[in-house]
C-alpha cells in the first residue's frame, strides 16, 4: 500500500512517547513492504495532492491550527485511519466528531482511553481497536539489578505532566529520594529542583539506557494533570519490575491495563503492538 502518515512531529523533530510509537509503526509498515510518506507540520500541502491507498492521522494540534485546510484533506480521504495518542482536546467539538466518524478504524491505547473520550465527548466513537504503545520487551524486562534508586521520573517535564505536583511531593516527603532523568519544555527549568535536597536532576538519557534505570528502581512518580491514555514511561517501568507507581495511577492507562491483564499478557501486547496494528489495517 501507499500510505500518507500525518502527524505534527516526527521522532527526529521531537522526542516523545507518541513520536516513538509512530516511528515504530512506520518502520514495521515499511518492513512489510508498504510505501509510507511522513507528513509533518512543516511539510508541503502538495503531499495531499498525490494518491494514497491509506491515510493515517495522528497528533494534529499544530497542523490543525496552522493549516486547517490539511484537516479537510484528511476528512475527505476514503481510507482514513485514526491513531489517537492523547485527548484531542485541541479540536472544536464538531471537528473532533468529524475526524473520528470519517475514520475506518479508530485506534486507542487502552480501555481507559476509550472510556474517558466517551465521558468527555459523547458516544459517537465507532470502529474502535485497542492497540498498546509498542515496546521492545527484549530491552524492557524485569532483571535482578540492585534497587539503587528509590523513586524515578523518566520523561518530559511539563506542566500537564504534573511537574509542580512532583515538586510538592518531593518537598512534603523529604525521606524519599527522587531521581529525575528527563528533558524539559522552555517553560519548565530544572532550577525548580535546586533547593530540594532529596531530588537529583540527572538530565535526559538515551532511551536505550532507561531500561537499566527502571530495573534498578523501586518506584515511579507520575501525577499528571490530564488523563494519560497509556504512558510509555509507566509501562516500561512496570515491565522492568518497578513495584510501585506513586501519584495518580488511576489516571494512567498502562497502569490500569497492567493491573487488568497481568504482566505476561501486557508484555505480549506491547511486544506485538506494531504487528497487531498492521494486521488490523490489512483486513480492511
Q: What is the pLDDT of residues 192-226, one digit of tens each?
A: 999 999 999 999 998 889 999 999 999 999 999 99
| Continuous segment of H or E residues that includes residue 214 | helix 207-215
The pLDDT assigned to 174 comes to: 97
Beta strands in 171-277 (DSSP E): 178-184, 199-201, 217-222, 244-247
- Whole-structure pTM value: 0.94
Whole-number Cα distances in Å, 265 to 28, 128, 132, 272 = 21, 20, 11, 11
End-to-end alpha-carbon separation of the chain, Å?
Answer: 12
C-alpha dihedral sign at 93, 114, 247, 274: negative
Model pLDDT, residue 55: 98
pLDDT of 208 reads 82
Task: List, for residues 221-273, the tens digit of each pLDDT value.
Answer: 999 999 999 999 999 999 999 999 999 999 999 999 999 999 999 999 999 99
Q: What is the spatial distance between Cα 73 and Cα 67, in angstroms, rounded to a whole number?
A: 11
Q: Using CA atoms, how far apart are residues 80 and 57, in angstroms rounded to an integer? A: 7
Neighbours of 233 (CB within 10 A): 26
pLDDT at 284: 79
| CA proximity to 152, closest of 183, 190, 180 | 180
Q: Where are the alpha helices (DSSP H) in 84-138?
A: 93-101, 111-121
Secondary structure string (H, E, C) spanning 243-274: CEEEECHHHEHHHHHHHHHCHHHHHHHHHCHH
Give pLDDT, residue 183.
82
**pLDDT beneath 50: ranges in the chain:** none
Which segments within the chain are labelled E, that is strand?
2-6, 35-39, 54-57, 80-83, 103-108, 128-130, 149-157, 178-184, 199-201, 217-222, 244-247
C-alpha cell at 252: 494512567
Amino acid at each position: 500500500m501507499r500510505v500518507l502518515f500525518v502527524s505534527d512531529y516526527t521522532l527526529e523533530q521531537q522526542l516523545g512517547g507518541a513520536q516513538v510509537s509512530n516511528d515504530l509503526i512506520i518502520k514495521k509498515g515499511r518492513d512489510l513492504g508498504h510505501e509510507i510518506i511522513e507528513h509533518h507540520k512543516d511539510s508541503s500541502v502538495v503531499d495531499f495532492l498525490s494518491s494514497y491507498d491509506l491515510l493515517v492521522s495522528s497528533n494534529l494540534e499544530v497542523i490543525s491550527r496552522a493549516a486547517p485546510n490539511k484537516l479537510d484533506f484528511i476528512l475527505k480521504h476514503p481510507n482514513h485511519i485514526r491513531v489517537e495518542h492523547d485527548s484531542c482536546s485541541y479540536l472544536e467539538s464538531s471537528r473532533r466528531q468529524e475526524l473520528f466518524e470519517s475514520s475506518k478504524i479508530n485506534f486507542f491505547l487502552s480501555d481507559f482511553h476509550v472510556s474517558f473520550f466517551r465521558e468527555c465527548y459523547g458516544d459517537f466513537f465507532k470502529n474502535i481497536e485497542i492497540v498498546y504503545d509498542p515496546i521492545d520487551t527484549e530491552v524492557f524486562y524485569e532483571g535482578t539489578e540492585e534497587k539503587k534508586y528509590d523513586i524515578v521520573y523518566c520523561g518530559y517535564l511539563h506542566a500537564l505532566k504534573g511537574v509542580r505536583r512532583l515538586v510538592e511531593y518531593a518537598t512534603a516527603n523529604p525521606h524519599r529520594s527522587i531521581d529525575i532523568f528527563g528533558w524539559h519544555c522552555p517553560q519548565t527549568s530544572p532550577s525548580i529542583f535546586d533547593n530540594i535536597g532529596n531530588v537529583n536532576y540527572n538530565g535526559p538519557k538515551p532511551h536505550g539506557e532507561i531500561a537499566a534505570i527502571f530495573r534498578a528502581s523501586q518506584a515511579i512518580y507520575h501525577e499528571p494533570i490530564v488523563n494519560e491514555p497509556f504512558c510509555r514511561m509507566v509501562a516500561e517501568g512496570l515491565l522492568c519490575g518497578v513495584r510501585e507507581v506513586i501519584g495518580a495511577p488511576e489516571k494512567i492507562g498502562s497502569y490500569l491495563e497492567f493491573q487488568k491483564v497481568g504482566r505476561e499478557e501486557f508484555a505480549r501486547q506491547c511486544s506485538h503492538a506494531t504487528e497487531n496494528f498492521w494486521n488490523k489495517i490489512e483486513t480492511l
